[in-house]
């Protein structure tokens, strides 16, 4: 498999001769706006200054056309505006080819995506794409009150290593169970420790990554969802130091645009 870190949680995954574009957030750098610009201002950060930082913080590492080239399937793990392009009037995924099949986490998200023009939307559960099997896994998107539903995905195929995309989740029993049940060779974690008032920490931090590493020491961990949202509380630079202090070594934290092969 090949995994290209695009930006934030956006990944281009080549797996068993198919190409998946995961959580395709393709808007230009700082073009979405700020938390204070979102109608109704539903999101508040512990440090209010962060609500004035436009996102995504950085531009894409390459033209969107290059990212979209050759894609066989889209996966949108959940409908948050840092995972797929969304406009304030409700349009989702404007840059995407609406004829390419798309996987969504539940019927509600699938309906919203169909309303935005996607022709083929399938709900994740146990899905078979020729020799590839996708299995939806649970996620907990917040340490206090989860910020809506989210999910992870197991990728399996003959002659491929097993891949676990944990999605927007903190460490909890569902992640531990998925690691123990599927014994993935490669685990992708979203881990900038983003935080909102009322929801707590939304995704993993260094302590959570240590839990992943201790639960499945054989796995190679990819640290994603870094350095592009203003409510993040850990940068790539800081994460390296935190993981070194915890003795976690079996990880990769690719720069935007970099590709890993397993």
Question: Which SS3 state, helix, strand or coil, does residue 177 take?
Answer: helix
Please write the tens of the pLDDT for every residue from 4-32.
999 999 999 999 999 999 999 999 999 99
Please write the tens of the pLDDT for every residue from 143-202.
999 999 999 999 999 999 999 999 999 999 999 999 999 999 999 999 999 999 999 999
CA atoms within 13 A on the CB side of 222: 30
21 assigned to some structural domain: yes
Token representation of residue 112:
């919203």
Question: Which SS3 state, helix, strand or coil, does residue 255 take?
Answer: coil
Partners of residue 121 on adjacent β-strands:
102
66 assigned to some structural domain: yes
Please write the tens of the pLDDT for every residue from 136-155.
999 999 999 999 999 999 99
What is the pLDDT at residue 84? 99
What is the pLDDT at residue 261? 99
Please write the tens of the pLDDT for every residue from 85-143.
999 888 999 999 999 999 999 999 999 999 999 999 999 999 999 999 999 999 999 99
How far apart CA 124 and CA 137 sit, in angstroms, is: 9
260 assigned to some structural domain: no
What is the pLDDT at residue 242? 99
Percentage above 90 pLDDT, the chain: 98
The number of domains in the chain is 1
229 assigned to some structural domain: yes
**Concatenated DSSP letters of 78-141:** S--TTTS-B-TTS-B-TTS-TTS-EEESSHHHHHHHHHTT-S-EEE-SEEEETTEEEEEEE---
What is the pLDDT at residue 198? 97
For residue 120, the domain's CATH number is 3.60.15.10
Please give the backbone phi and psi of residue 113, each rounded to the nearest 5 degrees, phi first: -70, -40
192 assigned to some structural domain: yes
Q: Which domain holds residue 56?
A: 2-254
198 assigned to some structural domain: yes
Percentage above 70 pLDDT, the chain: 100
DSSP 8-state symbol, 42: -
259 assigned to some structural domain: no
- Write the CB contacts of 14 (distance below 8 Å, at least 6 apart in sequence): 1, 2, 3, 20
Partners of residue 228 on adjacent β-strands:
none
For residue 179, give the H/E element and its range: helix 173-182
204 assigned to some structural domain: yes
What is the pLDDT at residue 129? 98
């Amino acid at each position: 498999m090949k995994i290209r870190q695009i930006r934030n949680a956006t990944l281009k995954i080549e797996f068993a001769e198919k190409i998946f574009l995961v959580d395709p957030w393709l808007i230009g750098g700082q073009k979405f706006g700020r938390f204070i610009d979102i109608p109704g201002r539903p999101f508040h950060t512990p440090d209010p200054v962060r609500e004035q930082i436009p996102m995504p913080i950085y531009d894409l590492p390459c033209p969107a056309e290059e990212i979209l080239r050759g894609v066989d399937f889209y996966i949108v793990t959940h409908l948050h505006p840092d995972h797929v392009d969304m406009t304030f009037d409700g349009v989702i995924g404007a840059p995407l080819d609406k004829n390419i099949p798309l996987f969504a986490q539940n019927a509600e998200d699938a309906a919203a995506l169909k309303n935005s023009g996607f022709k083929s939307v399938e709900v994740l559960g146990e899905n078979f794409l020729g020799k590839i099997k996708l299995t939806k896994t649970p996620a907990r998107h917040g340490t206090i009150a989860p910020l809506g539903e989210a999910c992870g995905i197991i990728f399996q195929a003959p002659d491929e290593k097993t891949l676990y995309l944990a999605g927007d989740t903190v460490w909890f029993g569902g992640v531990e169970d998925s690691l123990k049940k599927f014994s993935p060779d490669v685990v992708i974690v979203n881990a900038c420790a983003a935080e909102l008032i009322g929801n707590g920490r939304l995704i993993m931090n260094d302590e959570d990554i240590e839990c992943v590493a201790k639960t499945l020491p054989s796995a190679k961990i990819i640290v994603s969802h870094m350095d592009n949202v203003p409510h993040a509380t850990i940068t790539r630079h800081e994460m390296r130091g935190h993981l070194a202090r915890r003795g976690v070594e079996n990880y990769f934290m690719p720069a935007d645009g970099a590709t890993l092969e397993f």
